[in-house]
Amino acid sequence: MVFQKKVKLISSEKLTSDLFRLRFFCPEVAKGAKPGNFAHIRISQNTTPLLRRAFSIFDVDLKKKTFDILFKVVGLGTKILSEKKKGESLDVLGPLGNSFLISSKEQNLVLVAGGMGIAPLMFLASYLVKSEKIKREKISFLYGEKTKNNFVCLGQLKKLGVKTVLTTEDGTKGFKGKVTDLFLKRRIKLGIGKNCFIYSCGPQKMMKKMSELSKKYDLFCQLSLETHMPCGLGACFGCVVKYIKNDTTPLAGQATYKRICVDGPIFDAREVELD
Ligand SMILES: Cc1cc2nc3c(=O)[nH]c(=O)nc-3n(C[C@H](O)[C@H](O)[C@H](O)COP(=O)(O)OP(=O)(O)OC[C@H]3O[C@@H](n4cnc5c(N)ncnc54)[C@H](O)[C@@H]3O)c2cc1C
Ligand code: FES
């Protein structure tokens, strides 16, 4: 169920020069959110900016009835959001979108995050670790950043006890290269194959690469896609992605368009065509 209500900001934490974590008191979203869902937040009371901004649910606390978002300042909306103070209220719509498919079988689970893609995947990692059906030694977390100072959540990942492999584009920490290079290089060692569940989120170029690799090796990989989202409710078609059904029905192979806000943001990497 989707809620729209004014919710109180419980805390705002600056993690790096441009990265913030906000915590909201909202029993409905805390209870209803699943990994992959997002919140659509009205940043301002006036018309600047007019449209809501989308943020993945990064964490929930069922006891305290809170949910968190993690975001990077990239423009006016996120700049204003970073300046919000504890006690202020914001209009929140959520939880929105579909969620990651959770395997009930004993499979290798590989989470592949690039930059801000860490936000939905941290929520997923916590969820998987809490699940009694999944053994944490089956979970691997590949996390890439441009440089070592950009990493966040390393303490949380350690606490979760999942196998974590880091990579930086400048080689200042972990493997040197993009997280997709690491994914390819460690593919065999991590047992990545047809029976594996892969979950990925990151910049558009990375999502395109993950989609290409999933098609090439026929891997089950779910991508969390991001784009500009004017309405967030399926009404404006401002958020579409080219989609080609990958099954044996008569519609297989035919291109159509899906709305990321209501049909996604989670898609099978083999079924989307990204620019
Ligand atoms: C489902 C979903 C989940 C998201 N989760 C997160 C999250 O957890 N953390 C986070 O930091 N961001 C997340 N985003 C992206 C976030 O919504 C944008 O960064 C935000 O809307 C930018 O608003 P702004 O007013 O600061 O920037 P604007 O002034 O609107 O834009 C500034 C610059 O950023 C670019 N930009 C803006 N929005 C996007 C976007 N969605 N994708 C690519 N480029 C964009 C613009 O083209 C422009 O160059 C998510 C987006 C979606 C759709
Ligand atoms: S944002 Fe309007 S249809 Fe998706």
Determine the atom of ligand 1 nearest the C-alpha atom of 75: 26
User: If DSSP codes are grouped into helix, strand and coil, which group holds residue 14?
Assistant: strand
Centre of ligand 1 from the C-alpha of residue 126, in Å: 24
The class of domain 109-273 in CATH terms is alpha beta
Structure tokens at 171: 């080689």
Q: pLDDT tens for residues 100-109?
A: 999 777 789 9
Task: List the chain domain ranges.
Answer: 3-96, 109-273
Q: Is 211 exposed, middle or buried (0-12, 13-18, 19+ CB in 10 A)?
A: buried
What is the model's pLDDT at position 100?
98
Is pLDDT of 184 > 90?
yes
What is the fold of 3-96?
Elongation Factor Tu (Ef-tu); domain 3 (2.40.30)
Kindly report whether the global pTM for this prediction surpasses the value 0.85.
yes
Q: What residue type is assigned to position 205 of the chain?
A: K
For residues 161 and 103, which has the higher predicted lDDT (pLDDT)? 161
| pLDDT averaged over every residue in the chain | 94
Centre of ligand 2 from the C-alpha of residue 7, in Å: 23
Structure tokens at 189: 């060692």
Equal fold, 3-96 vs 109-273: no
